[in-house]
């Protein structure tokens, strides 16, 4: 919360005079303004004002008396809660049964799987189309399956792994190339009561022994960028169990064909494409032995009501 401030404005000045008044305010030893600025108030008449900020009302008044100019106004600057205002753009987010909010919005979601995640040094509050698309894909998958082993590659805040862990109560291995993100993800796991199922590790791509020992995974999230997704295709496909699903995101609409092709070449099939703005979440499946990857097709409009994106059957 900022402290209260007072301004004194001297209006009806020419541009040159506004500068002179600014100099006088800054250099008069009887005055101690916090800041002084000039603004154009009437472009047509070329009128300017000089505004000085003070911590105390008496100081603003004193400046008015000392300057003795014809047009002067002292006003209080309303207090503003800058923290709250900067968080206003980060309101609660929902994707199906998953609901996310920052600590400033605690209590807004009465039911469902609720996660509290603050914006900070790691990516993933649910506001980005890629995160939202992955959560929407997860919501769709868990309607018909309960994956047992889960990998969240590029976990950021941990958001995707935490959503899965909280809902499924099954082990999630969450990795990130950035150790700061891994720490944030573990803190978020604690805060959201998901620590018993959540293991965070620093790893670049698939280079970590806990990934190879944890494989095969029934569900893999990889919300990174298109290029690393393309180079990880052979490795990620090998890590996926028969009947398992791979949720890929971080790709844009024009990169969809390329990324689809990379994974189809590894023997996977496209199950769903979820779009949010220009971002895509692509669900690839590995056919279960003796069956199809996904027997059920969900209605294309099921998540359109959320207003954030739409689903399309592959
Ligand atoms: N999963 C979160 C964060 C996605 S941002 C969400 O869906 O919102 C992508 C994350 O992937 C970043 O935290 C970044 O550090 C990590 N990352 C990027 N390339 C990676 C790589 N090659 N291996 C592991 N993590 C990677």
Report the nearest atom of ligand 1 relative to the CA of 122: 13
Closest C-alpha to ligand 1, atom 14 = 154
Q: Which residues line ligand 1 (CB under 6 A)?
A: 122-124, 130-131, 134, 153-156, 159-160, 175-178, 181, 204-205, 223-224, 228
User: pLDDT tens across 187-225, in order?
Assistant: 999 999 999 999 999 999 999 999 999 999 999 999 999
**Cβ–Cβ under 8 Å, residues 15 and 4:** no
What is the reported pLDDT for 307?
37
Percent of the chain topping pLDDT 70: 88
Closest C-alpha to ligand 1, atom 3 = 156
Percent of the chain topping pLDDT 90: 73
pLDDT level of residue 165 (50, 70, 90 thresholds): very high
In whole angstroms, what is the distance from residue 190 CA to residue 213 CA?
Answer: 24
Report the nearest atom of ligand 1 relative to the CA of 203: 24
Query: In the predicted model, what is the mean pLDDT of residues 218-237?
Result: 96
Q: Which phi and psi (to 5°) does residue 282 adopt?
A: -115, 125
Ligand 1 centroid – CA 60 distance (Å): 51
**Cβ–Cβ under 8 Å, residues 33 and 81:** no
User: pLDDT tens across 261-313, in order?
Assistant: 999 999 999 999 999 999 999 999 998 876 555 544 443 333 333 334 444 44
Ligand 1 centroid – CA 153 distance (Å): 7
Ligand 1, pocket-test mutation among 125, 158, 222, 224, most atoms within 8 A of CB: 224
Query: In the predicted model, what is the mean pLDDT of residues 127-133?
Result: 93
Q: Is the pLDDT of residue 83 over 70?
A: no
Q: Is the pLDDT of residue 242 over 70?
A: yes
**Cβ–Cβ under 8 Å, residues 281 and 309:** no
Question: Largest Cα–Cα distance of the chain, in whole Å?
Answer: 92
Q: Which phi and psi (to 5°) does residue 41 adopt?
A: -105, -25
């Amino acid at each position: 919360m900022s402290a209260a401030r007072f301004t004194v404005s001297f209006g009806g000045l020419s541009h040159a005079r506004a500068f002179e008044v600014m100099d006088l305010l800054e250099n008069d030893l009887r005055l101690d303004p916090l800041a002084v600025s000039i603004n154009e108030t009437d472009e047509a008449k070329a009128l300017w004002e000089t505004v000085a900020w003070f911590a105390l009302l008496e100081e603003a008044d004193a400046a008015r008396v000392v300057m003795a100019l014809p047009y002067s106004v002292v006003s209080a600057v309303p207090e503003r809660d800058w923290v709250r205002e900067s968080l206003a753009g980060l309101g609660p987010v929902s994707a199906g049964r998953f609901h996310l909010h920052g600590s400033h919005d605690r209590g807004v979601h009465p039911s469902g799987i609720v996660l509290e995640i603050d914006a900070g040094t790691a990516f993933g509050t649910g506001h980005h189309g890629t995160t939202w698309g992955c959560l929407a894909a997860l919501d769709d998958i868990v309607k018909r399956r309960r994956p047992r082993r889960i990998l969240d590659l590029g976990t950021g805040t941990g958001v995707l792994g935490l959503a899965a862990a909280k809902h499924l109560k099954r082990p999630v291995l969450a990795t990130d190339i950035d150790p700061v993100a891994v720490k944030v993800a573990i803190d978020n796991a604690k805060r959201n009561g998901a620590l018993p199922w959540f293991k965070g590790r620093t790893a670049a791509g698939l280079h970590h022994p806990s990934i190879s020992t944890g494989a095969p995974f029934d569900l893999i999230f990889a919300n990174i960028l298109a290029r690393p997704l393309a180079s990880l295709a052979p490795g990620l496909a090998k890590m996926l169990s028969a009947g398992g699903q791979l949720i890929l995101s971080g790709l844009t609409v024009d990169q969809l064909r390329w990324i689809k092709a990379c994974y189809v070449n590894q023997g996977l099939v496209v199950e769903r494409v979820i779009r949010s703005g220009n971002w895509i979440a692509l669900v690839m499946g590995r056919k279960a032995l003796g069956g199809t990857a996904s027997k059920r097709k969900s209605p294309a409009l099921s998540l359109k009501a959320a207003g954030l994106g739409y689903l399309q059957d592959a």
